[in-house]
Amino acid sequence: MTAITPRPMSGFPELLPEQQIVFNRSLQIIRETFEAFGFAPIETPSVERKEVLTSKGGEEKEIYAISRMQSQPGEVGETEFALHFDLTVPFARYVAQHKDKLTFPFRRYQIQKVWRGERAQKGRYREFYQCDIDVIGRGSVSLFNDSEIPSIIYKIFDRMDIGAFVIRINNRRLLQGFFEAQGVAHGQIADVLRAVDRLDKTSRDTVFADLTKNLGLSEMQASAIMAMTAQSLPTDELLTQLSNGASYGNATYDQGLAELKTVVAGMRSLGVPEANFVIDPSVARGLGYYTGTVYETKLIDHADLGSICSGGRYEDLASFFTSEKLPGVGISIGLSRLMFALLERGVLPTGAQTVAPVLVTSMDPARMDYYLQTAAQLRSNGVGAEVFFDKKGLGDQLKYASKKGFKLALIAGADEFSTNSFKIKDMRTTTECTCLASDVTETVRQLLAE
């Protein structure tokens, strides 16, 4: 029998237990925060019909189709299904399909893997987690949601303890109205938005050249756009500055500005610290379907990761699936990109290889019943415990406990049995104490609480 050589698969990363534990902890924070804001969990199948996935102009070569390796002889093993490449398109289908059973405004969160058939590189995978929330309304959806979303982002990253971060906020109407006032042709606004969006990735000269040479704007237009989008001021000063510009006489601009002010006021009511958000007129969110508020979030010490959480407001979620207008606002956290980078950089230190805090050692194989009962008792009191089953010396058992990162080791041999007691060794401090067998659970709890 020849062994199959295990090899890495590009773009399909995997973690060791001590890393996965850290990853899952972050996942838990995200889930709890979403639920604290009243978002309901849903999950859609990993696959959708091909026509659903391509409805919104999904790049076909980036979509993995699925098929059986072999069907009937001569039959092509193809199906009409493909793996979803994001969670928005399946969600749109879901809402359109179930809209008569859902209650609006519909708030849902969705944490699932998605797949993209791209060439992998740093921070870009072919299989990764997305954590999405969206609020969908029928006909309209309140602007207060736009304030609440940064509050959710703030709570999550604050709890995840991954260093300083800033939520950058902008409003697409503000940009669009400004571009219109500068005389940018209607059909070119999307292109200009895309060019501006690259401001934090490339040099200002490059963007300027892009605007003038590629998009054919005059130097005056380009200068005005650069000056407007490059503004960097404290929130209130910037809002004043933008209000002074209200003399553009453009209704879209004025609406965008008013929305921005409302969103900021709401964020302050929700207690989002000033240090964690900024109005950044250069945030445009590429092309996309965003129409109002847009968000990006960056780690200050890891700006090279790009936006780790972005989203915004859109006019219509499911225009391909229903004629009913379903506007919404939402964000997506690219958890895999974020976590893999932070684990690699040691920002999130890894610890134990187990989530159970207690190892019950077994010095006397004849008394395994006793060890098993003790572990069972710990578990039914909410304390995770593992029993060491193999016949090895105590030294080996403690070595095992040490390597895996158990916090406490329970020891019982002839000495302890004679006094009906247990010895508890704290692996972190190397200290030991002895307690009656009947007090084990309580003593363990106290030690773990320290």
Residues at the site binding RNA, with contacts judged by CB under 7 A: 7-11, 61, 86, 116, 118-126, 128, 130, 194, 201, 286-288, 306-310, 332, 334, 336-337, 363, 393-395, 398-399, 401-403, 411, 413-416, 423, 425-430, 432
**Nearest approach, Cβ of 303 to RNA (angstroms)?**
12
**Nearest approach, Cβ of 86 to RNA (angstroms)?**
7
Q: CB-wise, 100 or 369, nearer to RNA?
A: 369
Q: CB-wise, 93 or 285, nearer to RNA?
A: 285
Q: CB-wise, 120 or 230, nearer to RNA?
A: 120
Q: How far apart are CA 272 and CA 264, in angstroms?
A: 9
**Nearest approach, Cβ of 214 to RNA (angstroms)?**
11
DSSP helix, strand, coil percent of the chain (3-state; round to 5):
45, 20, 35
**Nearest approach, Cβ of 234 to RNA (angstroms)?**
26
Q: How far apart are CA 379 and CA 423, in angstroms?
A: 18
Q: With contact defined as beta carbons under 8 Å apart, do 185 and 204 qualify?
A: no
DSSP state string for 194-226: HHHHGGGTS-HHHHHHIIIIIT---HHHHHHHH
Q: CB-wise, 10 or 24, nearer to RNA?
A: 10
**Nearest approach, Cβ of 339 to RNA (angstroms)?**
11
260: helix, strand or coil: helix
Q: CB-wise, 144 or 413, nearer to RNA?
A: 413
Q: CB-wise, 250 or 397, nearer to RNA?
A: 397
Instruction: Output the CA–CA distances (angstroms, integers) from residue 382 to 66, 148, 378, in the order listed.
Output: 42, 35, 7
Q: Give the strand pairing for 277-279 and 78-83.
A: unpaired
Q: With contact defined as beta carbons under 8 Å apart, do 199 and 207 qualify?
A: yes
Q: CB-wise, 171 or 332, nearer to RNA?
A: 332
Q: How far apart are CA 68 and CA 78, in angstroms?
A: 7
Q: How far apart are CA 269 and CA 218, in angstroms?
A: 42
**Nearest approach, Cβ of 432 to RNA (angstroms)?**
6
Q: How far apart are CA 274 and CA 390, in angstroms?
A: 56
**Nearest approach, Cβ of 412 to RNA (angstroms)?**
7
Q: How far apart are CA 148 and CA 295, in angstroms?
A: 12
Q: CB-wise, 316 or 426, nearer to RNA?
A: 426
**Nearest approach, Cβ of 117 to RNA (angstroms)?**
9
Any idea of the CA torsion for 209, 211, 212, 216, to the nearest 10 degrees? Answer: 140
**Nearest approach, Cβ of 295 to RNA (angstroms)?**
11
Q: How far apart are CA 386 and CA 390, in angstroms?
A: 12
Residue 231's Cβ-count burial label (10 Å; 0-12, 13-18, 19+) is middle
Q: Which residues contact 422 (CB under 8 A, 6 or more apart)?
A: 374, 410, 411, 412, 416, 434, 435, 436, 437, 440
Q: CB-wise, 386 or 416, nearer to RNA?
A: 416
Q: CB-wise, 61 or 101, nearer to RNA?
A: 61
Q: With contact defined as beta carbons under 8 Å apart, do 257 and 242 qualify?
A: yes
**Nearest approach, Cβ of 209 to RNA (angstroms)?**
13
Q: How far apart are CA 207 and CA 228, in angstroms?
A: 13
Burial profile 57-67: b = 16 or more Cβ within 10 angstroms, e = fewer: ebeeeebbeee
Q: CB-wise, 240 or 429, nearer to RNA?
A: 429
**Nearest approach, Cβ of 198 to RNA (angstroms)?**
7
